[in-house]
Amino acid sequence: MTATIKNLTSITHNGLTLPKVIPQLTFADKLGGCKARWAIARMKYTVEPGIYAVGNPTDQSPVLVSANYKLSFDFLRKELTGIDAWIMVIDTNGINVWCAAGKGTFGTAEIVRRIESVELNKIVSHRKIILPQLGGVGVAAHKVKKQSGFMVIYGPVRARDIKAFIDAGNKATPDMRQVHFTLYDRLVLTPVEFTISAKYALFIIAAMFLLSGINKQGYSTQLTLENGFRAVFNVMTAYLGGTVIAPLFLPWLPGTSFSVKGFYVGLLLAAALSLTGYTGTQLETLAWILLVTAITSFTAMNFTGASTYTSLSGVNKEMKRAIPFQLTAAVAGLVIWIITRFI
């Protein structure tokens, strides 16, 4: 299923009828993008692969290559106001450029195939295509040249620099070549981070809520209702700490590994929870310190996947060190917490 592009018209160029898009995004485009950020119907958010005209392109106009994830496509076209260009959308199964390149779907073979299927040699007289720089993770420029005759020019990392790049004669400044990981970049990633593991968090929350009713006399529903909300609140705080707070404050948190950064967030949150009386007795507080730090450390560690600068070797090393601690803390915390039910 593909998302529809509003205001799609067509042009005739060198005897071919080709679709034409406008650079302006509609409300529906923005809403769709927003939903994708929250992981709602995200994998169906695709555009039809092929060639699209923007403005009034000619034989000489640049060819910009995009993934068929609609958010990638929209990010590119909204930067093309006043530019006459061709957008060649390749089939990446609706995945963004960087991730698709990592898998190889934004890759040499698909580009060569697409150049042939859209008959790019009939559309433009030059033999150059501009790729987003991050496409380089899946594309070998010299092989594309060899197999298709088209020369790959790596454009800027970010679509917003494409105009400046073209204006400068296809030259990128050092900053255009650098991946950033700004507060805003991290902010837009947190909703997905939060929602994707939410089912696991809900399971833990439900389990802790029900376990709150255990006591010496057996099981008390009243106790569940009285105490359960504290358990729910504490787990939710920890989950929010690892999926939202740690990512946002990432550069300012101590340590280089994400699990350590998450651990500090957990300590801080556990302290706040105990000061506000959410953790209960001293022994219960100890249990919550262990549980909260285990959750924040683990969920913050998962943010390595969304970050732009972690290597697989680094993540492997971090996990080998961190997981034994996280598991021990989680198990010890849970055991102590269950013991406190009976005291």
Partner 1 sequence: MKGQEYLKNVVTLELNIDKCIGCGMCAVVCPQRVFRIEDYKAVITNKDLCMECGACALNCPIDAIKVQAGVGCAAAVINSFFTGGEPTCDCSDGSSGCC
Q: Which residues bind partner 1 (CB under 8 A)?
A: 39, 42-43, 95-96, 98-99, 101-103, 133-134, 136-142, 154, 157, 172, 174-175, 177-181, 192, 195-196, 251, 256-258, 301-302, 304-319
Cβ pair 153, 130 in contact under 8 A: yes
Minimum CB separation from partner 1 for residue 96, in Å?
7
- Taking the C-alpha atoms of residue 315 and residue 321, their distance in angstroms, rounded to an integer, is 10
Q: Beta strands 16-21 and 63-67: pairing type?
A: unpaired
- Taking the C-alpha atoms of residue 59 and residue 62, their distance in angstroms, rounded to an integer, is 9
- Taking the C-alpha atoms of residue 42 and residue 96, their distance in angstroms, rounded to an integer, is 11
**Cβ closer to partner 1: 212 or 302?**
302
**Cβ closer to partner 1: 18 or 137?**
137
**Cβ closer to partner 1: 219 or 251?**
251
- Taking the C-alpha atoms of residue 230 and residue 252, their distance in angstroms, rounded to an integer, is 29
Minimum CB separation from partner 1 for residue 97, in Å?
11
Q: 226 Cβ partners below 8 Å, 6+ apart?
A: none
Minimum CB separation from partner 1 for residue 27, in Å?
24
Token couple for 167: 């204006």
Minimum CB separation from partner 1 for residue 276, in Å?
31
Minimum CB separation from partner 1 for residue 133, in Å?
6
**Cβ closer to partner 1: 122 or 317?**
317
- Taking the C-alpha atoms of residue 61 and residue 57, their distance in angstroms, rounded to an integer, is 5
**Cβ closer to partner 1: 68 or 133?**
133
- Taking the C-alpha atoms of residue 186 and residue 57, their distance in angstroms, rounded to an integer, is 36
